[in-house]
């Protein structure tokens, strides 16, 4: 690839930063070369290279299955490479366990947080290596004393004895980072750190990452969010099918270049917003109150034929609203009408019968039965359709599953494989298949593309658009600003349990959405 940058990398001009690692020179801190890894008969990595300098934030991107996680798990000691060398600060090292990696100053902040809710911050930071007092008891005072300065470095101004239960997801992530820092990590690997954070939380995290780089740490940043990569990385390494397909440096880091390298082709432009035919009906919420925000009543119309984006910060009450409509949680008050007809919904089966479908936020916990097969998941909401003479017809199920696999392009060798063996994007498509089978009149999607690679993302957008075009009312809850702006026909924004406003047409832009999300009442906007 033409954009491979070679050795003439970013000049470490900021070496006056006085970081804790004095030997910052032009030599690379980390050099991984020719890394190969095979799982069974499948090559995950084919002699892949990756390098990192101190004080540098490098983005590592690629579609799911491109090998970026495998690459970093080899660095983190979770997997061992079949071939290739790892050179750390000029010395070749062998990393055969997580303990090795830790000892070498490599810290891994995983996508799924591994913090413990029942412990306090200090307890989490020192988990597994708690200092002892002379009597052999845990030295809590020392843990608190020593964790305080680390917390400051990650911008977490909380008492170290605060129990983790009281922390937000974003704060828990900072605890995780603090834990890595307390292990004297020189290299910090972050796997999709912002995938469950709101925009403002993400921005804070990016600032903290920049700070850590200033202090001399090298950061590997794995993310699907191209915008963040562009914001925080000086360089990005793109992997595709287990190969390094190019580095993008500085001005080369554009959305266009990233996507083209990742997928190896140009993606079609996002479809234009649909023009809504007025009064085509749809789902109307009137005075809906959820137990999360009982003081706010929500009125909202989701029209047939549109994708209504629902934006807001995490905790603004969006998922709670969706759960109330689908009757996962009881709504405290309010009425629902579909095309003007009132609905009585006391439990999810009522909602399904009324033509409402909910693709939940947490795919693994609520979207799928991971240990069941693709087929069993795809038919779970419509099993009665496949009953012949009182028994489930496997044949009918298989036919429906094969059709769904083809229609939605689910990449699986067979409908009998367990859902857990599929990648995130393909799992999400199974959830969609389950609900499309119910022929929904109203489709609610809560963070439909979280943890989904770029290619599958586009396919999910196409599916949503086709649904809307066929007259389904689509409500898309999303914390991904690009997605909200790019995919919605109108955008409703919630702030602390209340509907802050609705944007349409040319009013839809990032600034307007953010203003409403943080509670600034915009002038001249109809609510």
Partner 1 sequence: MSDIPMMTLRPTWGVRLAPWRREIAVLLLIIVVCLVLTLMNQQFLSGQNIQNLARRIGMSGIFAVGLGFVIITGGIDLSVGSLFALLGILQCFMLVDWQVPWWIALPAILAGGAFIGLGHGLLITRLRLWPFVVTLCGLLIYRGTAQFIADNNSKGFGNGEGFAGVQAFLTGHLLWVPVPFWILMLVATLGGILLHATVYGRHLYAIGHNEEAARHSGIRTHLVITMAYVICGVLAALSSILFAFDSGGITPSNHGSFYELYGIAAAVVAGCSLRGGQGSMVGIVLGVVLIQLIPNFVNLLGWDTSLTFAVMGVVILTGAAADSLLVRRR
Compare residues 322 and 503 and give the one whose CB is closer to partner 1.
322
Residue 46 CB, shortest distance to partner 1, in Å, is 13
3-state helix, strand, coil in the chain (%, to 5): 35, 25, 40
DSSP 3-state of 243: strand
Residue 511 CB, shortest distance to partner 1, in Å, is 34
Residue 394 CB, shortest distance to partner 1, in Å, is 9
Residue 129 CB, shortest distance to partner 1, in Å, is 27
Closest-CA residue to 432 (of 360, 527, 505, 352) = 360
Compare residues 137 and 365 and give the one whose CB is closer to partner 1.
365
What would the two tokens of residue 53 be? 């300098």
Buried b (16+ CB within 10 A) or exposed e, 201-226: bbebbbebbeebbebbbbbbbbbbbb
Task: Name the pairing type of β-strands 333-338 and 341-343.
Answer: antiparallel
Compare residues 97 and 254 and give the one whose CB is closer to partner 1.
97
Compare residues 65 and 448 and give the one whose CB is closer to partner 1.
65
Rounded to whole angstroms, the Cα distance separating 245 from 262 reads 8
Helical axes 199-214 vs 169-182, angle rounded to 10°: 10
Binding site for partner 1 (CB under 8 A): 39-42, 44, 64-65, 67-70, 326, 328, 347-349, 351-352, 358, 360, 365-372, 376, 380-381, 383-384, 387, 390-392, 411-414, 417, 421-424, 426, 434
CB 334 within 8 A of CB 287: yes
Residue 49 CB, shortest distance to partner 1, in Å, is 19
Residue 418 CB, shortest distance to partner 1, in Å, is 10
Compare residues 213 and 245 and give the one whose CB is closer to partner 1.
245
- Give the C-alpha distances (Å, rounded to integers) separating 394 from 10, 432, 438, 487: 59, 20, 18, 37
Strand partners, 48: 35
Residue 44 CB, shortest distance to partner 1, in Å, is 6
Residue 429 CB, shortest distance to partner 1, in Å, is 13
The DSSP string of 496-526 is TTEEEEEEEGGG--HHHHHHHHTTPPPTT--
Strand partners, 220: 58, 189
Phi and psi of 343, rounded to 5°? -110, 140
Buried b (16+ CB within 10 A) or exposed e, 269-297: eeeebeebeeeebbbbbeebbbebbeebb
Residue 458 CB, shortest distance to partner 1, in Å, is 17
Compare residues 138 and 417 and give the one whose CB is closer to partner 1.
417
Compare residues 421 and 520 and give the one whose CB is closer to partner 1.
421
Compare residues 166 and 353 and give the one whose CB is closer to partner 1.
353
Compare residues 98 and 276 and give the one whose CB is closer to partner 1.
98
Residue 370 CB, shortest distance to partner 1, in Å, is 7
Block residue for tokens 């947080």: 113
CB 73 within 8 A of CB 111: no
Residue 433 CB, shortest distance to partner 1, in Å, is 12
Compare residues 69 and 479 and give the one whose CB is closer to partner 1.
69
Cα–Cα–Cα angle for 19, 236, 184, rounded to 5 degrees: 30
Compare residues 188 and 351 and give the one whose CB is closer to partner 1.
351
DSSP 3-state of 411: coil
């Amino acid at each position: 690839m033409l954009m491979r940058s070679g050795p003439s990398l970013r000049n470490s001009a900021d070496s006056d930063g006085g970081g804790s690692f004095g030997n910052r020179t032009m030599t690379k801190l980390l050099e991984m070369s020719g890394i190969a890894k095979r799982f069974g008969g499948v090559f995950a990595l084919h002699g892949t290279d990756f390098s990192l300098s101190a004080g540098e934030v490098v983005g590592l991107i690629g579609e799911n299955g491109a090998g970026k996680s495998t690459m970093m798990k080899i660095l983190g000691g979770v997997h061992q490479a079949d071939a290739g060398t790892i050179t750390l600060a000029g010395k070749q090292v062998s990393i055969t366990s997580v303990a090795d990696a830790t000892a070498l100053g490599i810290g891994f902040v995983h996508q799924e947080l591994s913090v413990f809710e029942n412990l306090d911050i200090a307890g989490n930071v020192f988990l597994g290596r708690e200092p002892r007092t002379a009597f052999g008891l845990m030295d809590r005072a020392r843990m608190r004393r020593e964790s305080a300065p680390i917390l400051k470095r990650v911008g977490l101004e909380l008492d170290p004895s605060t129990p983790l239960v009281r922390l937000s997801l974003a704060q828990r992530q900072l605890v995780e980072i603090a834990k890595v820092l307390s292990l004297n990590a020189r290299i910090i690997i972050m796997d999709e750190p912002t995938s469950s954070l709101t925009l403002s939380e993400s921005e804070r995290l990016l600032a903290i990452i920049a700070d850590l780089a200033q202090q001399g740490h090298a950061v590997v940043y794995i993310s699907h969010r191209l915008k963040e990569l562009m914001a925080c990385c000086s360089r990005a390494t793109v992997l595709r099918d287990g190969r390094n397909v190019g580095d993008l440096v500085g001005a080369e880091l554009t959305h266009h270049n990233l996507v083209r390298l990742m997928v190896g082709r140009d993606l079609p432009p996002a479809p234009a917003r649909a023009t809504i035919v007025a009064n085509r009906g749809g789902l109307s919420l009137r005075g809906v109150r959820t137990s999360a925000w009982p003081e706010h009543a929500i009125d909202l119309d989701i029209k047939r034929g549109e994708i209504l984006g629902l934006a807001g910060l995490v905790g603004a009450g969006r998922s709670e609203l969706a759960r109330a409509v689908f009757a996962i949680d009881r709504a405290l008050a309010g009425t629902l009408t579909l095309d003007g007809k009132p609905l009585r919904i006391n439990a999810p089966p009522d909602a399904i019968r009324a033509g409402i479908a909910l693709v939940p936020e947490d795919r693994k916990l609520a979207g799928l039965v991971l240990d069941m097969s693709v087929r069993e998941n795809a038919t779970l909401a419509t099993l009665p359709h496949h009953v012949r003479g009182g028994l489930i017809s496997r044949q009918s199920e298989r036919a429906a599953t094969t059709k769904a696999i083809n229609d939605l392009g689910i990449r699986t060798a067979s409908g009998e494989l367990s859902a857990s063996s599929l990648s995130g994007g393909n799992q999400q498509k199974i959830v969609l298949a389950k609900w499309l089978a119910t022929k929904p009149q109203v489709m609610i999607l809560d963070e439909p593309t979280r943890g989904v690679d770029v290619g599958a993302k586009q396919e999910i957008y196409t599916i949503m658009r086709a649904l809307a075009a066929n007259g389904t009312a689509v409500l898309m809850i999303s914390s991904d600003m690009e997605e909200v702006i790019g995919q919605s026909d109108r955008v409703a924004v919630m702030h602390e349990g209340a509907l802050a406003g609705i944007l349409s047409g040319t009013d839809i832009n990032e600034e307007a959405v953010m203003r409403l999300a943080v509670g600034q009442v915009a002038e001249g906007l109809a609510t």
